Amino acid sequence: MPRQLTLVIGGARSGKSHFAEQLATDHAALTRGPVTYIATARHDVDSTDEEMELRIALHRARRPADWTLVEEPVHLADALYGHARHDGCILVDCVTLWLNNLIFSESRDYPEHGVITPPPAFTEEIDALMTALPMLPGHVILVTNEIGFGVVPMGAITRFYVDELGRLNQKLAAAADRVRLLNRVALTLIEHEDELAALEARDTGKPLRQARADARAVARYFEFYAGAADKLHGQTIPYQAGYTVLTVREPHGVTGHIIPWNYPLQIFGRSVGAALAAGNACVVKPAEDACLSLLRVAELAAEAGLPEGALNIVTGYGHEAGAALARHPGINHISFTGSPETGKLVSQLAAENHVPVTLELGGKSPQIVFADADLDALLPVVVNGIVQNAGQTCSAGSRLLVERPVYEELLDRVASVFESLRVGPSELDLECGPLISRKQQQRVWDFVSDAQHAGISVMAQGQIVAEAPESGYYQVPMLFRDVPATHRLAQEEVFGPLLAASSSPRRCGRSMPTAT
């Protein structure tokens, strides 16, 4: 296989244990052969504990392991050449070799200003490692620390990890860079607002002005999270005298994001923008029904300077690409927006790897109107709550619960507005565009049919304009009155422009019709 060298900066016990876990899961980069741990046995007081931790982690991963404990730093080259036919992974603990050589040498030449020059013996061993590297068929992991980083040729490193103080310092130093980078991404998105709005409208079917609001929103999310990137503070905690106790916020690592089709730009912005600001690498699975705008956003982000690998878009069906992302052992956090049923499946898959999940699922949001409400002010709010994006919104105000004294008056007003609503192609920029798919259109039709069979009256509805093609997935907004609280129209999420109205004789919350 191709020669690979991973450099781990740090090297205390947590660094090796961390990489043992990495070895347990990273089959794409590492072979499935045995793992050899090379370190000194002379002065490494923690070697027994470290060996046990590594053995346990590798045993769980069913990775065979052997241990080579060299007596002196000069024996490292011999140990490496002894594994010239090794087809697995070699973990070389050069921190121990170097520090032992430095600390236990007779002349301790600690320079001023805290800069330690690597001793000649250590430099020679690094040279030996670099020479042996092409001969080793497996994967070599070199554990060193910050002060030894300069002696390892950058061109030889295929991957590197920074552990403990080196890792923390790198993250803190990079936070300011993330601020500037995310602001550049936001500015780039603003400059391409028209292009993104057109893509979003074409892909989702929503009217152009609504798509333009989404394009502005994604840029605003990146601006917001850019401002937060260097303000993710930890805490200092009072404790006993002589102790310093603190918390540090760190990135999850690699985060997965499953984005729905109704608001691709907006949900991408508030999910991925936050993850990037915290220092994570993101893998995004957009909906198969609407992915064009996000593919373009990823291109623009790369043009703005986002590093390669920080943002990855994986298209595909939910049951294939989405399921693979949710259960992948390399994912450290999952964000999902979609139906409650699919959210349950995502949680179950993520639980296989004990991965935390953030879910934004559907709902059946009521709009509640009391008798003393300002009907003039609330009328456009009530209508827009169900008409926006043709009702395909998880927070759509799909139920209208009205106190009886104003029920008839409000319904008359709402009905008048509904009759003026027009539905057509997104480029006409009307009140409603088409639904996302034939499947979603059929779902809405099923709700309408069930309501009609139950004798529920349609008080008003909009109209499809003549310019709309007959093959489009259009659905007129419909106002249903006196909908029983037990009917599915009042109970279940429709995801279409159907408004279910009902009345209550009193203001008391218990007397208002509620879904259970």
Active site residues: 360, 394
Q: How far is CA 121 from CA 93, 105, 117, 343, 502, in A?
A: 15, 11, 11, 56, 84
Who contacts 156 (Cβ-Cβ below 8 Å, separation ≥6)?
5, 130, 133
Q: Select from 295, 272, 294 the least CA-distant residue to 283.
A: 272
Q: Select from 36, 34, 44 the least CA-distant residue to 11.
A: 44
Span between the terminal Cα atoms of the chain, in Å = 60
β-pair type (159-162, 35-40):
unpaired
Burial label for 308, CB within 10 Å (0-12, 13-18, 19+), is exposed
Mark out the alpha helices in 454-512 (DSSP H runs): 488-491
Secondary structure (H, E, C), 209-258: HHHHHHHHHHHHHHHHHHHHCCCCCCEEECCCCCCCEEECCCCCCEEEEE
- With H, G, I as helix, E, B as strand and everything else as coil, classify residue 507: coil
Distance of CA 203 to the CA centre of its chain: 22
CA distance 341 to 346: 9
CA distance 1 to 123: 27
Two structure tokens written together for 491: 């109970």
Distance of CA 104 to the CA centre of its chain: 47
